[in-house]
């Protein structure tokens, strides 16, 4: 669902998501006669004239039916498991019958294709940009899992590490046109504008962290930076709000001396309407959180700590989806170039993920969820049988005198696959 700019009392706000507009409409703060920017026509129109806004003013069921499609997986710290979780989430969604496309949006270090066992992707984003492909559908690749497709990042090229703003806009628009029920975006580490913009452009964002203090700190800071960017964009025409957001107490990294609720109170002193909109953005912004690599029961509380801090300081509801255990089978799966959910559906990490997808992500009732879980396990065990084994050792170059390293090599074994260059297929991909 596209975000929209609105104009109320001659002031422009936004872009707001449909969820935010829905929230405002329900409270009577936004009505069908208010103005909305119609991008294609290039003019302001009344909200009631926009087809896509019809469900906002009607019943809940119609609105809820328009479920989220684009889900971004991000989080400040590198190496916390964003990519392996995205791949296995995709496997879970596809195995439950949802057409799913994984998108490698880590422009600096694309590796989602490797996790899926695709060493030489036929197309990547590089083709999309340089060959001026019409739509992202043109570079969608099949994977060994039925109903799961992949859009591979531009491997080995850093050229797209900083896409131009126009490229980003085009990309985000294109994501909505991908033929799928779900599009899962694997984002890079850090909190650069690229990462944040894609995280915010998605219908839902999942923050992944592990229980280490540094990762927890970065996850909270990521959540805060995303919220600040969203608020600054929504109120970029309102100097009072911007000044409040930019003041040292709020925007500096680390400790916040002024909470969002105090900011709302300050805005309300002069501008009721802006305060209502501000509150709505806070109310609708609900990033999800997954705690990965949990080693002991006590670790689980770190997720709750982030949730509590976000509620107290940022006045937002972080939805803690649950945790995935630390499990060596995840590491083995990475080495075998398979999503961990398929490598061993009975492993602890796979079971944790299945539980989390069923109950929290697809929002099933408990009863239906148990049934779905059984079904999911059956499908996964079946998929596991058919998932191709990637024998990297067999793909290694054959040891011979022609090898560049022959003279210095301690592992000469002429005529057999090289035992130290078994990763060559990945580097060359």
Ligand X SMILES: Nc1ncnc2c1ncn2[C@@H]1O[C@H](COP(=O)(O)OP(=O)(O)OP(=O)(O)O)[C@@H](O)[C@H]1O
The dihedral sign for the CA sequence 287, 292, 296, 299: negative
Which of 330, 356, 359, 361 binds ligand X (CB under 6 A)? It is 330
Closest approach of ligand X to the CB of residue 78, in Å: 3
Radius of gyration in angstroms for the set of CA atoms belonging to the chain, rounded to a whole number: 23
Q: Which is nearer to ligand X, 4 or 189 (CB)?
A: 189
Least gap, CB of 83 to Mg ion (angstroms): 3
Would you count residue 226 as binding ligand X (CB under 6 A)? no
Among 2, 31, 78, 427, which residue sits at the site for ligand X (rule: CB under 6 A)?
78
Closer residue to ligand X (CB): 56 or 112? 112
Spatial neighbors of 49 by CB under 8 A, at least 6 apart, are 38
Which residues does 236 contact at the CB level (< 8 Å), separation at least 6?
A: 242
Which residue among 324, 359, 376, 390 contacts ligand X (CB under 6 A)?
A: 324
Least Å distance, CB 86 to Mg ion, is: 8
Q: Which two tokens stand for residue 151?
A: 């859009």
Taking CB under 5 A as the criterion, the residue among 3, 17, 55, 83 binding Mg ion is 83
| Tokens 């501000």, residue located | 278
**Stretch of 43-51, 77-85, 256-264, 378-386 contacting ligand X, by CB under 6 A:** 77-85
Residue choice 60, 67, 68, 79 for contact with ligand X (CB under 6 A): 79
* Residue 194 in the binding site for Mg ion (CB under 5 A): no
**For residues 316 and 334, which CB has a smaller minimum distance to ligand X in the complex?**
334
Q: Does 80 bind ligand X (CB under 6 A)?
A: yes
In the chain, the N- to C-terminal Cα span, in Å, equals: 35
CA distance 408 to 413: 13
Q: Which does 330 bind (CB under 5 to 8 A by kind): ligand X, Mg ion, none?
A: ligand X
Count of residues near ligand X by CB under 6 A: 20
Closest CA to 334 of 83, 6, 8: 83
359 vs 370: CA distance, rounded Å: 9
| Residues in 43-82 at the binding interface with Mg ion, rule: CB under 5 A | 82
**Rounded Cα gap, residues 184 and 88, in angstroms:** 11
Quick one: which of 102, 178, 189, 275 contacts ligand X (CB under 6 A)?
Answer: 189
Tokens for 196, please give them: 């944040």
The one of Mg ion, ligand X, none whose footprint includes residue 383, by CB under 5 to 8 A per kind, is none
**Which positions from 279 through 298 interact with ligand X, judged by CB under 6 A?**
292-293
- Binding of ligand X by 359 (CB under 6 A): no
80/359 with CB nearer ligand X = 80
Buried b (16+ CB within 10 A) or exposed e, 133-170: eeebeebbbebbbebbbbbbbbbeeeebeebeeeebee
Among 145, 180, 314, 349, binds ligand X (CB under 6 A): 349
In the complex, least distance from residue 83 CB atom to ligand X, rounded to whole angstroms: 3
CB of 89: closest distance to ligand X in angstroms? 11
- Alpha carbon separation from 86 to 61, 139, 176, 253, 379 (Å, rounded): 29, 19, 18, 28, 19
Collect all residues with Cβ–Cβ distance below 8 Å to 412 and sequence separation of at least 6: 399, 406
331 touching ligand X, by CB under 6 A = yes
Binding piece for ligand X, criterion CB under 6 A, among 63-71, 97-105, 282-290, 324-332: 324-332
Residue 334 binds which one of Mg ion, ligand X, none, with CB within 5 to 8 A depending on kind? ligand X
Smallest separation, CB 106 to Mg ion (Å) = 5
Residue 263 in tokens? 């900011």
CA distance linking residue 339 with residue 59, whole number of Å: 40
DSSP secondary structure letters along 50-79: -GGGHHHHS-HHHHHHS---EEEEE-SSTT
* Nearest-approach distance from CB 396 to Mg ion, in angstroms: 25
Q: Which residues bind Mg ion (CB under 5 A)?
A: 82-83
- Name the residues that contact ligand X, by CB under 6 A: 78-84, 106, 109, 188-189, 292-293, 324, 326-327, 330-331, 334, 349
């Amino acid at each position: 669902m596209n975000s929209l700019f609105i104009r109320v009392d001659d002031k422009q706000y936004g872009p707001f998501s449909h969820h935010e507009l829905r929230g405002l409409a329900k409270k009577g703060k936004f009505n069908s006669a208010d103005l909305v920017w119609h991008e294609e026509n290039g003019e302001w129109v009344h909200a009631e004239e926009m087809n896509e806004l019809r469900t906002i003013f009607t019943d809940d069921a119609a609105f809820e039916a328009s479920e989220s499609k684009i889900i971004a997986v991000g989080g400040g710290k590198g190496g916390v498991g964003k990519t392996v979780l995205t791949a296995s989430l995709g496997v879970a969604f596809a195995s439950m019958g949802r057409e799913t496309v994984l998108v490698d949006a880590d422009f600096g270090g694309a590796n989602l294709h490797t996790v899926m066992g695709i060493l030489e992707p036929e197309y990547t984003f590089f083709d999309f940009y340089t060959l001026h492909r019409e739509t992202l559908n043109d570079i969608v690749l099949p994977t060994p899992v039925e109903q799961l497709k992949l859009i591979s990042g531009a491997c080995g090229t850093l050229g797209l590490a900083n896409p131009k703003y126009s490229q980003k806009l085009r990309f985000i628009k294109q994501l909505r046109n991908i033929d799928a029920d779900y599009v899962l975006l694997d984002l890079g580490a850090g909190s650069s504008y690229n990462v944040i913009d894609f995280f915010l452009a998605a219908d839902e964002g999942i923050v992944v962290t592990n229980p280490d203090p540094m990762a927890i700190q970065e996850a909270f800071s990521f959540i805060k930076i995303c919220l600040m960017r969203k608020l600054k964009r929504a109120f970029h025409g309102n100097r009072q709000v911007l000044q409040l957001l930019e003041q040292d107490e709020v925007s500096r990294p680390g400790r916040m001396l002024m909470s969002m609720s105090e900011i709302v109170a300050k805005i309300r002193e002069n501008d009721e309407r802006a305060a209502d909109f501000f509150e709505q953005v806070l109310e609708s912004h609900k990033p999800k959180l997954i705690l990965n690599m949990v080693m002991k029961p006590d670790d689980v509380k770190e997720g709750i700590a982030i949730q509590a801090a976000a509620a107290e300081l940022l006045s937002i509801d972080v939805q803690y989806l649950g945790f995935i255990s630390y499990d060596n089978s995840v590491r083995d799966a990475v080495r075998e170039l398979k999503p961990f959910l398929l490598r061993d559906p009975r492993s602890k990490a796979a079971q944790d993920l299945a539980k989390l997808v069923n109950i929290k992500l697809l929002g099933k009732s408990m009863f239906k969820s148990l049934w779905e879980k059984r079904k999911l396990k059956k499908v996964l065990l079946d998929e596991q049988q058919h998932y191709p084994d990637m024998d990297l050792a067999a793909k290694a170059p054959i040891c011979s005198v022609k090898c560049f390293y022959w003279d210095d090599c301690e592992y000469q074994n002429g005529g057999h696959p090289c035992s130290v260059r078994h990763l060559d297929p990945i580097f060359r991909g």
